[in-house]
Structure 1
Amino acid sequence: MELKQHFITTNRPFREGAVEVFQQNISTQNVKKATLTITALGLYEVELNGKKVGDALFTPGFTYYPRHLYFQNYDVKGMLNAENILTVYLAQGWYCGRFTFNNKVQIYGKCPAVSWVLTVEDQTGMHRYYSDDASVKAIASPYEYAGFYDGEVYNQSREQEIFRPVKFTGHVPEIIEESTLHVRIREEMPVQTVTKHGDVTILDYGQNFAGIICINPSKMQDIQLKLRHGEILNPDGSLYTANLRKAKAETVYHKGSGIYRPRFTYMGFRYVELSGVEYEDGLLTAYAIYSDMERTGYFTCDNPLVNQLYSNQIWGQKSNYIEVPTDCPQRDERMGYTGDGHVFAHTGAYNFNTEAFWDKFLKDIRYSQEANKEGYVAPTLPAPPGEQGIGFMSMLGWGNCVCIVPEMLYWHFGTDRYIREYYDCMKRFVECEIRKMGGILGKKDLWIQPSLGDWLAMGRDVKYIAMHNGPVSNAFIVNDLRIMVWAATLLGKTDDAEKYAAQLEKTRAAYIKAFVKKDGTMKDDYQGAYIMALKMVIPAGDLRNKVYTNLTERIRRDGMQTGFFATEHILPLLADNGDDRLAFDLLLDERCGGWMYQIKAGATTTWERWDALRPDGTVNETKMSTDNMVSFNHYSFGSVGKFYYQYILGIQPIEPGFAKIKIKPHIDNRIGAFRGNYKDIHVSYNGEKLHLSTPADTTVILPDGTVHEVSSGNYIFSVKESVNEKI
């Protein structure tokens, strides 16, 4: 039986936040095998005889609904009795609930729908199928509201009209495939402090994270309580929520005595405000949630501030790898941002095995891209039809994710699969870039149009960076062309390789002519322009040396003044050019505009703005359009994590998938001894000796430049004398 034929909804007129509940009575006997196959346009959660089926959250997942949908299979044999009750909760979710920074509803469809087939095989081999027949009924829903932004209002005792199931007549995607990658509850987060503040209680969990609060009113009957979530407190100790914008981020629990777990929402928070009842131990339990991914990288050192920054970027990833690479988990946004995603992609792939996560998001890119004739890749994905098109922020720096991520996956995971599967997507995007060259200013071989540039850089107004985005935007084009030459060569596409190589040199020359002066200063004089030019455009030679000298002069004078894109590259660029001391100066800088400033201010995740919390303690509520824009859990500036792995530990691939490895640690006595690993590659330094455990052939480059070629095994190197011994 095909799922496409069995989608049902109810005859309820659309109401934002409504949750439908379906129930089916099923009789079984002599069961040999039982599989529940289920999907939804929206979100579903299913129970069998009162117990949740599976442990995944937000199923079936977030996809480009016009083309693509996931389903799940569950082995439910062990949950079946002779008489059974199947209960399906259906929420609006991303499909038609309130979503995007425009706070729209019914983006992909008019109402949610669900489809399931329970296949039961008895001991004789006979199969019975249970789906949307006359035995399915709609029952009273305990939800007054459920949505990602506002939270949930749960009321077990409310009176309501009961609607009836009807056949779903809306569009069903062409592609429905099984998914095993899910968001799940990952970690219990113990409360650190509980403080009474007037009529409410403030709970501090000590860590900003994305998650849910479960309510267990075991000692209370028919309680009514409200939970409000926030990232920081006001100076008077009350909950700060202004940065949530139109998101309420609340849980309201009415008239219930059973354990309650939010099904169809999550929050980004460190603090919770409890009202309605007095707090008691065991009443509330917090859990962090994030997508399936195995931890693969670790780091620690003697400097507690450096350790805290490492922890902050880890928690930034946990909080924002939820179905898609979101920007933030707390406000009315939480969308899959391509720019934020690729900026953090290398760091994220060291922290966790993210291959399956990116495999899923690349599908979102493909299906969204195929829906437009231009070939652009939107800044937020999956992109609603007609939304986030080739507008103000639609292209450079964001859409380049389609080229950058497949290359990252090649080096981290040792497979050309993503180059092969997404080559056409990469090519369509680059062809779109080439067609757009000339732009409104008519500069041949360059893309000169409005874009966001090195977003949220310190030292410059965002409008200046946007209107002078050329050095950043066109650096991405040069990088895309380089990737296309490499990818075409890898796949044996000689004509494409030659074509893009020629365009690469034209655009590189046009870039240097348009943006770089002969004395090595950038015409648009901000750090991001220098860094992106050096990282992606200017070849070795006298001009590059001049540009680099000008960059380091500005860094020494101004500190770090980079935005989302240049930040990823600033420390590696300095270290690659022998300026280790300056790189560590920036890493350890406690002035506003640096990572350690955030740590000293109490941050437990990286912020959206370097000065999200100003030195005077006020929140930077600078408005973008009509709303403020400040998040205390944005992982873009957490891209510094790559520096920890590739430069402090020194772990870099020489061959794809780390089949051959380079170990080149960068040591600074201000961080002291350190140790860490990426998968089975372990590196530690105790102040005198470097310990290495490697699973493959490895080139070891010690700080004094001494090179050692070693095979798999365990080694100790004397850093001062550059002597190694195999143990």
Structure 2
Amino acid sequence: MKKEHWICGGASCEAPLFRRSFWLDRTERFQSARLEICGLGYFLFYINGKRISDQELMPAMTDYASVLGCETTYPVWEERSVHRCRYLSFDLLPYLKAGENVLAVRLGNGWYHQTERIAEGKFVFGLPKLWFELTLTDADGRQEWIESDRQTLWHPGGLLKNNLFLGEVRDLRKEPEGWQDPGADLSGWKPAQPVHAPETLLEEQTCPPDRVIRKLYPILIGEHDGRKIYDCRENIAGRVVLSCLGKKGECITVRHAEELAADGTLDFESAGGSDQLQQDHYICDGRIQTLHPLFCWHGFRYFETEGPCEVLCAEVIHTDVAVTSSFSCSDPVLNWLYEAYIRTQLDNYHGCIPSDCPHRERLGYTGDGQLTAETAMLLLDTKELYRKWYQDILDSQGAETGHIPHTAPFLGGGGGPGIRGKGAAAGGIYQYVLLLAWIAGNDANFRKNE
């Protein structure tokens, strides 16, 4: 029973914290405890202080709502066919205990609330918002519900800024102590504000999630004006993990780039230049702790650090798609080409879409998707990814003309959508991906919308 009680924090808070306490006399009487949850744009959640899911950047991106009111660099004349949001489900039964239990959630902007972007306009669908429903079922089938209602409390967090393209600013001094834990000090916490549910379909996410797939250990290659420069030795989509060693109030900055300039400093041009630096800032609270961005990834090989920190590793993050092929021959160039393709394709899977690049635009261009689909289906287990993206393409069609735009989900993009549905754009993706899926042997459910 989805009552869809959506809540938010303050109007000026980009990354609010929420906690919902509930008390259980004993847990043995319950046979299941199923949490259904959606946080827009992204969310992280904890139960009794523990993060129980290794999924990142939840939920997968979709056509959230009407784009007619968004700031675009060209006219958008037509509504999309379907708006859709995904919720995720988790089994909480092993983590519940007698007494007070706390479900805690941190929200981020994701694609839902992007206020800064150097190209293709701003797409803001509303403030970050949260819905959840925890269903407790006993042996007799009787059910109790814990919901995202006004018993849920909220508080501003230390994440002051979070942007997919520009990175994050996090002030560790402003994080409420033990906010995810039972028995926390609730001074300053307020009841969450009810908001209208998004005018969208709310469906369970069944496609593969984004995860930390690999860890790399960068090498220090130089220093310039107090900034240490590191090399991951391959281009990745992901994040840098640091140990914070600063005193209270000291700052740490991390900047990312794909290339080096002639003088050995970072060259930011490929990701947008100085107008769109991929950088993260941390303000220390005096405690040693591990830090990394929470709601974004960066595209980079090189990075620089400034401030009191130690680099622990770099984490590669992308949609969890298995490599189902292998290649080896006597020519090292061909072997490198295969490995480089695999890394490149995987680095461009986020939110279960195939993107054009993991830094500058990050969009599901339907033209680029046509070019890469055949090779991807041959070498990777992409069935569920393309099933999800195919649904995104159908959702993004114009409600009146059926025109397929040049990105799906439709979030702008270079090239424009054509003139009142008459431009060819990249609409051939509709038939082409379907044909490739057929040839690749994907099951009939993939083709149900043919």
Same fold (TM over 0.5): yes
Give yes or no for the alignment of 1:91 onto 2:108.
yes
Which residue type is aligned with residue 21 of structure 1?
L
Which residue type is aligned with residue 265 of structure 1?
C
Inter-CA distance 406–153: structure 2 relative to 1 (3 Å threshold):
same
Aligned length, in residue pairs: 411
State whether residues 65 and 173 of structure 1, in contact with CA within 8 Å, keep that contact through their aligned partners in structure 2: yes
Q: Partners in 1 of 2:229 and 2:198 — Cα distance?
A: 46
Residue by residue over 1:497-544, the C-alpha shift from the partner in whole angstroms, topping out at 9 and shown as x without a partner, is xxxxxxxxxxxxxxxxxxxxxxxxxxxxxxxxxxxxxxxxxxxxxxxx
Secondary structure of 1:94 counterpart = coil
- TM-score in terms of structure 2 length: 0.84
Residue by residue over 1:210-231, the C-alpha shift from the partner in whole angstroms, topping out at 9 and shown as x without a partner, is 01122233x6554531100000
Q: Partners in 1 of 2:46 and 2:141 — Cα distance?
A: 26
State whether residues 378 and 395 of structure 1, in contact with CA within 8 Å, keep that contact through their aligned partners in structure 2: no
The residue number in structure 1 matching 2:313 is 285
State whether residues 379 and 395 of structure 1, in contact with CA within 8 Å, keep that contact through their aligned partners in structure 2: no
Inter-CA distance 372–390: structure 2 relative to 1 (3 Å threshold):
farther
Report the alpha carbon displacement of residue 101 of structure 1 after superposing the two structures with TM. 5.6
Structure 1: stretches of 5+ with no match in the other structure: 424-727
The residue number in structure 2 matching 1:270 is 301
Give yes or no for the alignment of 1:2 onto 2:31.
no
The residue number in structure 2 matching 1:208 is 235
* 1:350-389 pair list within 5 angstroms: 350-369=378-397, 371-384=398-411, 388-389=416-417
Q: Partners in 2 of 1:12 and 1:415 — Cα distance?
A: 45
Report the alpha carbon displacement of residue 146 of structure 1 after superposing the two structures with TM. 0.8
Report the alpha carbon displacement of residue 134 of structure 1 after superposing the two structures with TM. 3.2
Report the alpha carbon displacement of residue 38 of structure 1 after superposing the two structures with TM. 0.2
Q: Select which of 99, 121, 129 maps to 2:145.
A: 129
Which residue type is aligned with residue 37 of structure 2?
I
Identity over aligned residues, as a percent? Answer: 25
State whether residues 24 and 135 of structure 1, in contact with CA within 8 Å, keep that contact through their aligned partners in structure 2: yes
Inter-CA distance 196–385: structure 2 relative to 1 (3 Å threshold):
closer
Which residue type is aligned with residue 42 of structure 2?
L
Which residue type is aligned with residue 2 of structure 1?
K
Report the alpha carbon displacement of residue 192 of structure 1 after superposing the two structures with TM. 3.6
* 1:293-442 pair list within 5 angstroms: 293-323=321-351, 324-331=353-360, 333-369=361-397, 371-384=398-411, 388-391=416-419, 395-396=423-424, 398-419=426-447, 421-423=448-450
Secondary structure of 1:315 counterpart = helix
Give yes or no for the alignment of 1:168 onto 2:168.
no
Give yes or no for the alignment of 1:23 onto 2:19.
yes
Q: Select which of 168, 184, 197 maps to 1:152.
A: 168
> Relative CO higher for 1 or 2, CA cutoff 8 Å, sep ≥ 6?
2
Which residue type is aligned with residue 212 of structure 1?
R
* 1:14-53 pair list within 5 angstroms: 18-28=14-24, 29-31=26-28, 32=30, 33-53=32-52
State whether residues 215 and 260 of structure 1, in contact with CA within 8 Å, keep that contact through their aligned partners in structure 2: yes
Residue by residue over 1:277-333, the C-alpha shift from the partner in whole angstroms, topping out at 9 and shown as x without a partner, is 2x64xx3321111112121111122222222222211111011011211111122x1
State whether residues 130 and 148 of structure 2, in contact with CA within 8 Å, keep that contact through their aligned partners in structure 1: no
Secondary structure of 2:241 counterpart = strand
**In proportion to residue count, which structure has more strand?**
2
Q: Partners in 1 of 2:131 and 2:442 — Cα distance?
A: 38
Report the alpha carbon displacement of residue 264 of structure 1 after superposing the two structures with TM. 0.6
Report the alpha carbon displacement of residue 393 of structure 1 after superposing the two structures with TM. 11
Residue by residue over 1:337-395, the C-alpha shift from the partner in whole angstroms, topping out at 9 and shown as x without a partner, is 111111011111122110100000011011111x4322221111111499953249995
Report the alpha carbon displacement of residue 203 of structure 1 after superposing the two structures with TM. 0.6
RMSD: 2.6
State whether residues 228 and 251 of structure 1, in contact with CA within 8 Å, keep that contact through their aligned partners in structure 2: yes
Report the alpha carbon displacement of residue 269 of structure 1 after superposing the two structures with TM. 0.3
Give yes or no for the alignment of 1:76 onto 2:92.
yes
State whether residues 159 and 169 of structure 2, in contact with CA within 8 Å, keep that contact through their aligned partners in structure 1: yes
Quick check: which has more Rg, 1 or 2?
Answer: 1
Give yes or no for the alignment of 1:240 onto 2:257.
no
Structure 2: stretches of 5+ with no match in the other structure: 66-82, 177-187
Inter-CA distance 123–392: structure 2 relative to 1 (3 Å threshold):
closer
* 1:580-619 pair list within 5 angstroms: none
The residue number in structure 1 matching 2:72 is none
The residue number in structure 2 matching 1:255 is 284
Inter-CA distance 303–198: structure 2 relative to 1 (3 Å threshold):
farther
State whether residues 89 and 204 of structure 2, in contact with CA within 8 Å, keep that contact through their aligned partners in structure 1: no
Report the alpha carbon displacement of residue 204 of structure 1 after superposing the two structures with TM. 0.1
Inter-CA distance 100–140: structure 2 relative to 1 (3 Å threshold):
closer
Q: Partners in 2 of 1:192 and 1:386 — Cα distance?
A: 35
Inter-CA distance 123–296: structure 2 relative to 1 (3 Å threshold):
same
Secondary structure of 1:252 counterpart = strand
Residue by residue over 1:224-249, the C-alpha shift from the partner in whole angstroms, topping out at 9 and shown as x without a partner, is 31100000000000011123223221
Report the alpha carbon displacement of residue 65 of structure 1 after superposing the two structures with TM. 1.3
Q: Partners in 1 of 2:284 and 2:347 — Cα distance?
A: 31
State whether residues 209 and 318 of structure 1, in contact with CA within 8 Å, keep that contact through their aligned partners in structure 2: no
Q: Partners in 1 of 2:227 and 2:422 — Cα distance?
A: 43
The residue number in structure 2 matching 1:684 is none
Report the alpha carbon displacement of residue 260 of structure 1 after superposing the two structures with TM. 2.3
Inter-CA distance 166–310: structure 2 relative to 1 (3 Å threshold):
same
Secondary structure of 1:301 counterpart = coil
**In proportion to residue count, which structure has more helix?**
1
Report the alpha carbon displacement of residue 167 of structure 1 after superposing the two structures with TM. 1.1
